[in-house]
Amino acid sequence: MSGLSLDPEQLDRYSRHIIMDEVGPEGQQRLLDSRILCLGAGGLGSPVIQYLAAAGVGTIGIADDDVVERSNLQRQVVHGESDIGRPKVDSAADFVAEQNPDVAVERHETRVTSENVEDLVAEYDVVVDGSDNFSTRYLVNDACTLAGVPFSHGAILKFEGQVTTFEAREESPCYRCIFPEAPPAGSVPSCAEAGVLGVLPGTVGCIQATEAVKLAMGYGETLDGRLVLYDAADMTFDTAEIRKNPNCPVCGENPDIGSVHDVEYTDTCAIGD
Amino acid sequence: MDVDLRFFATFREAVGQKNITRAFDDGLTIGDLLAALESEFDGLEGELLDDTGDIRPQLSVLKNGREVLHIDGTATELDDGDTVSVFPPVAGG
């Protein structure tokens, strides 16, 4: 932490944070000093970026290699009509600049791969996974778990969302503790194939942003050890207890995965694929 | 005894409903239940258990909110009134 240095405008901007004993000027300073990486600036990434920027997270990394398409605008609320065709990292960065001048955006206009994920993750305190495919999700899980970087996991399809937080502590489970392997290609459709309710990523992304803010502030309990299954169709939230799997291939007692280079992140993302 | 079943995402589509209740004889295990579901619903055939009778690595099965892998796996016993949830990972963002 760089010491308390809130100026009068910041004391005003963040007054509703600072007035809370649970946050105070120290908690706000921690947010301003924090570095959070958002993987994806799409449906989930949009509300995450909005709320992290509004909260005064000092540095937000945004990794996305897509450009804005018209079909994104039904749910990806940091992008607008005039952004169609622009890189999402640029559109999202412009949104943040307008929302909060305290926030620096680091643009990573690249696809996250096993070649760059370790360097990328190492630069940040917290990672928020809002990616849109299984390969990236398993890659992010393995990289963050091996590096000990806490990350928020959110995923959506049609009317349903799954969200949890993996703190990457000794006793924390990881994504592979729940799902050791990805489904075979084609068995679980993508949002492009099956559709998604436009407001759904707003709800799930806001939970992810909440978790990231708490981790950055060092306050509260996260979803570590709990997976929330959200159904927008009947507005139910089911919570499943999840535990570390002793046989987990990445965080178990005798892991097979010691590096992201041990796995081909294609198809089921299993060892030897 | 009655067991409440909850299905999510692709499994819900295979079953056609989110929640169903089924009556079974006492002594039912998770393995028995998943095999019975594969028999009842065409869309679940081969989706829940692998060739050795273990739960496939691409789904999660909960008994009353707890992952059955951390209880007794397919040997996990069920009682009247238990709720079993079955869900796959999803990846959309």
Q: What ipTM is given for this predicted complex?
A: 0.89
Can you list the alpha helix ranges (DSSP code H) found in chain A? Answer: 8-13, 15-18, 24-33, 45-55, 88-99, 117-122, 134-147, 175-178, 191-194, 200-217
Which residue stretches of chain B have pLDDT < 70?
A: none
What pLDDT is attached to residue A200? 98
pLDDT at A207 over 90: yes
Q: Does A43 map to a domain?
A: yes
What pLDDT is attached to residue A267? 77
Share of chain B above pLDDT 70, in %: 100
What CATH number is given to the structural domain containing A126? 3.40.50.720
Q: Does A253 map to a domain?
A: yes
- Residue B92 has its nearest CB partner, among A45, A157, A184, at A157
What mean pLDDT is predicted for residues A49-72?
98
- Of the residues A174, A177, A191, A248, only one is catalytic, namely A191
What pLDDT is attached to residue A3? 62
Q: Does A190 map to a domain?
A: yes
Contacts of A199 (CB under 8 A, 6+ apart): A75, A232
Q: Does A112 map to a domain?
A: yes
Residues 59-78 on B with a CB inside 8 Å of A are: 59-60, 62, 65-67, 69-70
pLDDT at A2 over 70: no
Q: How far is CA B12 from the centre of its chain?
A: 11
Per the structure, the count of domains in chain A is: 1
What pLDDT is attached to residue A81? 98
- Residue A188 has its nearest CB partner, among B10, B66, B69, at B10
Q: Does A270 map to a domain?
A: no
Optimal mutation site among A136, A190, A229, interface B, most CBs of chain B within 10 A: A229
pLDDT at A192 over 90: no
- Arithmetic mean of pLDDT over chain A: 95
Q: Domain span at residue A183?
A: 17-262
Q: Does A7 map to a domain?
A: no
Contact A201, A41 (CB under 8 A): no
Q: Does A12 map to a domain?
A: no
Three-state DSSP state, A154: strand
For residue range A93-138, list pLDDT tens digits in order.
999 999 999 999 999 999 999 999 999 999 999 999 999 999 999 9
pTM of the predicted model as reported, rounded to 2 decimal places? 0.94
Q: Does A3 map to a domain?
A: no
Q: Give the C-alpha separation, B10 to A160, whole Å.
A: 10
Could you give all domains of chain B from N- to C-terminal order, each with its CATH number? 2-87 (3.10.20.30)
